Amino acid sequence: MTSNDLPPLLVSACLMGEPCRYDGKDYPCPAVRKLANTRTLIPICPEVMAGLPTPRACAELQPSGRVVDADDIDRTAAFEAGAAEAVRIAREHGCTQAILKSKSPSCGKGLIYDGTFSGTLVPGMGKAAQALIDAGIEVLSENDCADLQS
């Protein structure tokens, strides 16, 4: 099977080794990179695409739906713009699936930080993950890569 047999796969750029996380680091995931053998990977970072710098203050999604950073600055508009751009790129490339970084206020799927900056995880979806799901794109985390390897 070649990378042309399956639709491209949207992937969090930090999982591909791009240092775009809030702390200026990456979070390389060998299982994600291995998918490049069978899929065309489209790297994205919704926060960077929205114009936020790297590094940047840590941000968390609040129960109200707002995104606030550790300096108490409301970053909701940037996170929503990044989410919209992720959907646009996914549609442009014909992506039907995305592998996004777990726990992120943009990309998290299933569990995200609770908004108190205490390291506590709660059920929820990051802004980009939810926007992609709403657009009909299946969202997985790096922990789900094995599901795509078969």
Matching residue, tokens 């695409």 = 49
Q: With a cut of 60, say whether residue 149 has pLDDT above it.
A: no
What separation in angstroms does the CA of 115 have from each of 14, 42, 69? Answer: 22, 29, 9
The percentage of residues in the chain with a pLDDT greater than 90, rounded to a whole number, is 89
Domain boundaries, given as residue ranges, for the chain: 9-149
Q: How far is CA 133 from the centre of its chain?
A: 12
Q: What is the mean pLDDT of residues 24-43?
A: 94
Predicted TM-score (pTM) of the model is 0.93
Q: With a cut of 80, say whether residue 132 has pLDDT above it.
A: yes
Q: What is the mean pLDDT of residues 12-23?
A: 97
